[in-house]
Structure formats: structure tokens, C-alpha cells
Amino acid sequence: MKSVALITGGGKGIGASIAERLSFKNKIAIFDINTPDTPIKESLFLNVDVSVSDQVKEGVEKVVQEFGRIDILVNNAGITKDGLSIRMSDSDWQRVLDINLTGVFYCCREVARIMIKQKGGRIINITSIIGIVGNIGQVNYSASKGGIIALTKSLAKELASRNITVNAIAPGFIDTEMTKALKDEIRVEISKKIPLGRFGKPEDVASLVEFLSEDSTSYITGETIVIDGGLSLIL
Ligand SMILES: NC(=O)c1ccc[n+]([C@@H]2O[C@H](COP(=O)([O-])OP(=O)(O)OC[C@H]3O[C@@H](n4cnc5c(N)ncnc54)[C@H](O)[C@@H]3O)[C@@H](O)[C@H]2O)c1
């Protein structure tokens, strides 16, 4: 039976690239609040807001009804609402934590129940180097992404005996709509600082997700793998 991958925020950007890459070997289900830019043939798209517990629960049930199982979960949905902490509103703090961190917990909880019954699975959480090194204007985002790294370690310990691995990927600057918001001069400044001299591509992250989902990497768990062109080496 073909394995099944569920990707949150798989409608565009990094998530769309992950969905496309995993579609070569897996059936694909996507949770997103926006319809995909380029839908994948025979994939299941579900309009699910990962920050709403009931929607996640129902969404996971629908994936299992349609495909019978879930082998790979990629928690990729995420947003930014940047601002200096002294000016940050309660709602900008809360929304980022709700989607980026609580959403990861809801999806992990529901899918882990399925994977435990199946006696195996892979969970891959997309965090950020900002969750490791911090950033001005991103207290909400960095707290949510740092939280994902801690969640990944705890969940890896909880699920290891069930043959489920849990890992995180921490990208640096990747070319997507999220980083298009940066002004041109700031992009140039950042690119100059990155040792490999460029922003990453969504496909760079997709390659690492694919690697962590392969049979040959079943002995890696609880790790956060940085993919940033060397940027965090010099921060
Ligand atoms: N782009 C970067 O430089 C970069 C760097 C490090 C980490 N990341 C992380 O990678 C992930 C993807 O980022 P991206 O750049 O592709 O972003 P993006 O904005 O291009 O895409 C994010 C996707 O998530 C979906 N989404 C947003 N809120 C949602 C919700 N509540 N429920 C379900 N889906 C939701 C959006 O509709 C969109 O399809 C995020 O977690 C982001 O924090 C991105």
C-alpha cells in the first residue's frame, strides 16, 4: 500500500514544494486555509485552520477515511506578525503562537494517535533559525519556533518506543511570500551575510523533508537540522 503524507500549509511556498516532492512516493493530503496555487493530482485538500482543535480532529479523520492511514506528518503552516515587543498587541502575540505552536501540537496529537495504532510514522516540524538565535521584531515568532524545538524533543521521547520519529527542520531565509515582504535593500544585505551567498529555495527544504521521511533515516529522532546556507554560523 502506498504511504500517506499530510502536509499543513501545503498550499504554497515551502509547504507546496514539500507536497510536490513527497507526492512521488506518497499519497498527499493538505491542510490549508487557502486553496493550493498548483494542486497536486489525486491529492486531498482540506480547508483546515491548524489553530482550531475541532477542525484538525475532523481533518485527520477525513484523511484516514479517504486514504486509510497517515505515515508522514509535516507541520509546516506558519505565519509572522512582526513588531517590536513594546508595541506588540495581544492579538499579534496570540495569533502567531496559536498557529505556529498550538497548531503543531493539535496536529501531532491527532496524528500520533493514528501512528501509534499503525506502529510507526514520521513527524517533521518546520521551525526556523529564529527559534534558535532570536530576532529583533519577532518575539512572538521566535517564541513559537523555539517552542517547536522543545516540543519536538519531548514528543520524540514519548513516541520513540512506538517506532515514531519526531524531528524538526530549521530553515534560514527561504525565497517565499513570507520573505518577499522584506525590502530589496534588506534582502541584498542578508544575502551578503549568508556564507553561501543566496536565499534558500523551497526545494532545498523539501529535499531535507524527503531525507527525514526515508526508511534509511529511521534512527534519527529528536533532532533539529538547520538549513540556512551557513547563516547561523556567523550570527
Ligand atoms: N520563508 C522563510 O524564509 C522561512 C524561514 C524559516 C522558517 N519558515 C517556516 O516555513 C513554513 C512555511 O513558510 P513559507 O515561507 O512557505 O510561508 P508562506 O506564507 O509562503 O506559506 C504558508 C502557508 O501556510 C498556510 N497557513 C497559514 N495559516 C494557516 C493556518 N492557520 N492553518 C493552515 N494553514 C495555514 C498559508 O495559507 C500558506 O499556504 C512556516 O512555518 C515558516 O515559519 C519559513
**Which protein residue's CA is at the shortest distance from atom 1 of ligand 1?**
174
Residues in the ligand 1 pocket, defined by CB under 6 Å: 8-9, 11-15, 31-34, 49-51, 76-79, 99, 126, 128, 171, 173-174, 176-179
The string of pLDDT tens digits covering residues 29-67 is 999 999 998 999 999 999 999 999 999 999 999 999 999
Spans of all domains in the chain = 3-233
Q: Residue 42: phi, psi to the nearest 5?
A: 60, 15
Span from the CA of 93 to the centroid of ligand 1 (angstroms): 17
| Nearest of 162, 40, 42 to residue 112 by alpha carbon | 162
Place of cell 481533518: 59
**Which protein residue's CA is at the shortest distance from atom 38 of ligand 1?**
9
Q: pLDDT truncated to tens, each residue of the chain (235 aa)?
A: 789 999 999 999 999 999 999 999 999 999 999 999 899 999 999 999 999 999 999 999 999 999 999 999 999 999 999 999 999 999 999 999 999 999 999 999 999 999 999 999 999 999 999 999 999 999 999 999 999 999 999 999 999 999 999 999 999 999 999 999 899 999 999 999 999 999 999 999 999 999 999 999 999 999 999 999 999 999 8
Half-sphere exposure of 58 toward its Cβ, with a 13 Å CA cutoff?
9
Concerning whether 141 is annotated as a catalytic residue, the answer is: yes
The β-bridge relationship of strands 164-171 and 121-126 is parallel
DSSP 3-state of 170 = strand
In angstroms, the CA 79 to CA 181 distance is 12
Asked whether 129 and 75 are in contact (CB, 8 A), the reply is no
Span from the CA of 9 to the centroid of ligand 1 (angstroms): 6
Q: How far is CA 195 from the centre of its chain?
A: 24
For domain 3-233, the question of CATH label 2.40.420.20 is answered with no
pLDDT for the residue numbered 1: 79
Asked whether 209 and 14 are in contact (CB, 8 A), the reply is no
pLDDT for the residue numbered 78: 98
Dihedral sign of CA atoms 109, 110, 116, 118 in order: negative
Beta-bridged to residue 169, according to DSSP, are 126, 225
pTM above threshold 0.95: yes
* Residue of 141, 199, 221, 229 marked active site: 141
Asked whether 170 and 235 are in contact (CB, 8 A), the reply is no
Span from the CA of 174 to the centroid of ligand 1 (angstroms): 11
